[in-house]
């Protein structure tokens, strides 16, 4: 929790941060009578508080944002769950599909065909080929329950034989597959 220099925790009436971070800090905010307010991003919230010289507002942002915008840390570790993790992706206009380390991850989106058990069947290729899926999220398209897009992360590279086979099976049960990126796994990943 970041605020202007000299501001005390008891002075804070509102804390700003991205929509994702606010519920992750709900217990802390409620315990201190601080109202959460959505911002486009956490660092942007810190910049706005500094620029406006707001003495009753704080930002839920990184220590780095505090240093950049001249804010002080009122309280560290305000998240409700200690295992909260934020994942940052570096995006590029140019695809770099080559293998850069031994352990690679691949992110992709796909839309299943509108047939019974399509998702179950689409996921079968990953299981039978021993490809570990580490994330799967669904999104409704156009507000209709019949049109769903999925976002997935897997361990492996599209050139790996088992990943190629899994993608071949996935293609049979989908209307669309788009690889978003292939990148080295974080060294801290088990």
Residue 64 pLDDT exceeds 80: yes
Hey, what domains does the chain have and what are their CATH numbers?
Answer: 2-73 (3.40.190.10), 104-184 (3.30.70.260)
Please state, rounded to an integer, the average pLDDT across all residues of the chain: 90
Average pLDDT value for residue range 91-112: 83
Average pLDDT value for residue range 138-152: 76
Average pLDDT value for residue range 53-75: 96
Q: Nearest CA to 2 among 39, 47, 37, 35? A: 47
The pLDDT assigned to 104 comes to 93
pTM of the model: 0.63
Average pLDDT value for residue range 161-166: 97
Residue 157 pLDDT exceeds 70: yes
Residue 28 pLDDT exceeds 90: yes
Query: How far is Cα 67 from Cα 72, in angstroms, rounded to an integer?
Result: 8
Identify the residue with better confidence: 113 or 14.
Answer: 14
User: Which residues belong to the active site?
Assistant: 86, 88
Q: Nearest CA to 158 among 170, 147, 167? A: 167
């Amino acid at each position: 929790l970041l605020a202007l220099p000299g501001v005390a925790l008891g002075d804070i009436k509102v804390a700003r941060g991205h929509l994702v971070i606010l519920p992750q800090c709900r217990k802390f905010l409620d315990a201190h009578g601080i109202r959460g307010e959505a911002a486009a991003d956490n660092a942007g919230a810190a910049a706005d508080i500094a620029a406006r010289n707001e003495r009753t507002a704080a930002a839920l942002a990184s220590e780095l944002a505090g240093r950049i915008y001249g804010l002080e840390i009122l309280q560290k570790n305000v998240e409700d769950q200690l295992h909260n993790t934020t994942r940052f992706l570096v995006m590029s206009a140019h695809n770099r599909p080559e293998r850069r380390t031994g352990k690679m991850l691949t992110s992709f989106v796909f839309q299943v065909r509108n047939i019974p058990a399509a998702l179950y069947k689409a996921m079968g290729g990953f299981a039978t080929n021993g490809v570990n899926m580490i994330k799967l999220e669904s999104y409704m398209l156009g507000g209709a329950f019949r049109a769903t897009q999925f976002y997935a992360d897997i361990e492996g590279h599209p050139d790996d034989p088992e990943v190629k086979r899994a993608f071949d099976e996935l293609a049979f049960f989908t209307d669309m597959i788009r690889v978003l990126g292939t990148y080295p796994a974080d060294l801290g990943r088990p």
